[in-house]
Amino acid sequence: MFSKLKLPIIVAPMFLVSSPELVIASSRSGVIGSIPLLNARTKEQCEKWLQQFSKELSDVPWAVNYICHRTNKRLEEDLELIQKYKPPIVIASLGHPGKVVDVVKTYGGKVFADVANLRHAQKAADSGVDGLILVSAGAGGHAGILNPFAFISAVREFWDGVIILAGGISTGQDILAAQVMGADYVYMGTRFIATDESVAFPEYKDMLVQSTSEDILYTDAFSGVHANYLIPSLKRNHIDPSTLKKKETVDLGHMIDPKAWKDIWSAGHGVTVVKETQPVQQLLQTLTREYMEAKEKWFVHV
């Protein structure tokens, strides 16, 4: 679908972490950068970012993340900006993507939908999206519980379009393995939090470097929807993980509330391989080397 890519990676749109600099550095380095539109605190700031992307990334793919749910206070405004600036890819989250599909199709763009279970995957497929992002067990932020092997196989029963696999993917070897499993692209988030271009707090980046998969907690205590959080960030805010209880009602507004994510930080199971904070270009050089070495090791004699 996007032939100019050096690696089949979409850098996941991360709330309060992704920045215009991260998008531009990623897309300019041969992968697909993306950003939540709501990372721009106002419509005016969002428009400036889209103007910048349209100018600086006119010859490479890039993506924006659009929240489809009614709790998004800029629901209509952001959709108007999508229509105006025509991002090549729109990632639809939290809600039915039908309306954004109708808009993006008018200018020839692509819509990829986040899905965490088979029911949502079927609904998104029926809506006319171009790709399904299978958010499997181990993904940072709100994640599903399905094993990626089983998830891909089950979705392929009814879907022959593009599949993007998410969940614990952190190395070049992981990327190749995802392709062998049947994915067209991978979603990588945690590894890109600890880059110079992300706007994560320095303490957040340091915590990633110091953490392993044992430091991840999967809980629905904060929004009623399960997500993966860094245990050290809970303790840093005097929250005892052992005392957390299920939130009885689903609060979708919590998912896009900056206050809710400012101090409670997320990461995926792949956090163990994050050893340092580095520029995006350097990280992608490492991932490319790992990918090519894995490909040569496993396929050169086949």
For residues 121 and 126, what is the distance between their CA atoms, to the nearest angstrom?
Answer: 9
**177 in any annotated domain:** yes
CATH of the domain at 153: 3.20.20.70
pLDDT at site 107: 97
Give the total number of structural domains in the chain.
1
pLDDT digits (tens, 9 = 90+) for 48-66: 999 999 999 999 999 999 9
Do 274 and 192 form a contact (C-beta atoms < 8 A)? no
**89 in any annotated domain:** yes
Do 7 and 291 form a contact (C-beta atoms < 8 A)? yes
For residues 229 and 152, what is the distance between their CA atoms, to the nearest angstrom?
Answer: 25
pLDDT at site 255: 60
* Residue from 278, 259, 261 nearest 17 by CA: 261
Per the structure, the complete domain to which residue 97 belongs is given by 9-199+269-299
For residues 272 and 48, what is the distance between their CA atoms, to the nearest angstrom?
Answer: 36
pLDDT digits (tens, 9 = 90+) for 218-243: 998 887 788 999 999 999 989 898 88
Q: Which string of b and e fits 6-18 if b means at least 16 CB within 10 Å?
A: ebbbbbbbbbbbb
**215 in any annotated domain:** no
Q: Which residues of the chain have pLDDT under 50?
A: 302
Distances (CA, A) of 32 to 35, 49, 76, 296: 10, 16, 25, 24
**153 in any annotated domain:** yes
Interhelix angle 20-28/280-299, rounded to 10 degrees, is 40
For residues 254 and 286, what is the distance between their CA atoms, to the nearest angstrom?
Answer: 36
For residues 23 and 11, what is the distance between their CA atoms, to the nearest angstrom?
Answer: 8
């929240």: which residue's tokens?
67
**Residue 198, token pair as written in the block:** 């992300």
For residues 280 and 205, what is the distance between their CA atoms, to the nearest angstrom?
Answer: 14
pLDDT at site 3: 74
pLDDT at site 249: 65
**216 in any annotated domain:** no
Distances (CA, A) of 84 to 55, 100, 252: 14, 13, 27
For residues 222 and 280, what is the distance between their CA atoms, to the nearest angstrom?
Answer: 31
**284 in any annotated domain:** yes
Q: Tell me the HSE value of 25 on the side-chain side, using a 13 A CA sphere.
A: 18
For residues 1 and 5, what is the distance between their CA atoms, to the nearest angstrom?
Answer: 10
**228 in any annotated domain:** no
Averaged pLDDT of the chain: 93
**86 in any annotated domain:** yes
